[in-house]
Amino acid sequence: MIHPSKASLELHARAALAFKTALAQLSAVRIRNMQINTAGHTSGIDILAEIDVYCHSHQLACKVLASDTPHEIETALDDLNRNTPAVEGQVMPVLIAPLFSPASQLLCAKNHAGYIDLTGNARLMIDQVFLAKHAIPHRTASRAAARSKRGTKRDAAEGTVPRMPPAGVAMHHTASAHGD
């Protein structure tokens, strides 16, 4: 028997939480049962969820991936298709990874698979319910904040930081084409 590494167990725990969080955002969805496979198998279903959507039963068969390479996505989808149990209702494959690039998101959509990543991106189509969520990367916001701080420091060093007007006085600044 293969024993999962600590990193693998942590990834699966974070994936299960991201999965539950994504489903919780859909008021029409109720999780009836959720089984998480932590046995360390490299094939098979990592998370199997029985859900109700407007009182109709559905199955979500999830595979947790370490990365979003096209090869890994295709292998996981083949694996899910081979290992999906024969149950009543629709079975939807869902892939969960730390991050899905736009190209990987498109690959999942083309294969009618849902995806959830640990940064907050998700796409699920279950019956008449659709979730599409695109998270703004944190590093973009951090870069903008850093640029803003650099600009403020540079302006202060050059003595170009405008002073605050007295209370009740409106301040307007217009720049001329000559850089004044």
In a domain, 54, yes or no: yes
CB 94, CB 59: distance < 8 Å:
no
CB atoms within 10 A of CB 1: 5
In a domain, 65, yes or no: yes
Q: How many domains does the chain have?
A: 1
Residue 72's domain comprises 6-133
In a domain, 40, yes or no: yes
Phi, psi (deg, nearest 5) at residue 156: -65, -40
Amino acid occupying residue 109: A
- The Cα–Cα gap between 118 and 68 comes to 12
Which residues are bridge partners to 5 per DSSP? none
In a domain, 174, yes or no: no
Rg over CA atoms, the chain: 24
Q: Is 27 helix (H, G, I), strand (E, B) or coil?
A: coil
In a domain, 175, yes or no: no
In a domain, 94, yes or no: yes
The sign of the CA dihedral 51, 39, 78, 24 is positive
Question: What is the four-CA torsion angle of 171, 174, 178, 179, rounded to 10 degrees?
Answer: 60
In a domain, 45, yes or no: yes
Exposed e or buried b for every residue in 122-149, given b needs 16+ CB within 10 A?
bbbebbebebeeeeeeeeeeeeeeeeee
Q: What is the mean pLDDT of each run of 10 residues along the chain (180 residues)?
A: 79 95 91 84 81 89 94 93 67 94 94 94 86 70 49 47 42 40
CATH of the domain at 76: 3.40.1350
In a domain, 31, yes or no: yes
Which residues are bridge partners to 64 per DSSP? 96
pTM for this prediction:
0.71
Of 88, 82, 97, nearest in space to 32 by CA = 88
Instruction: Name residue, tokens 């094939």.
Output: 43
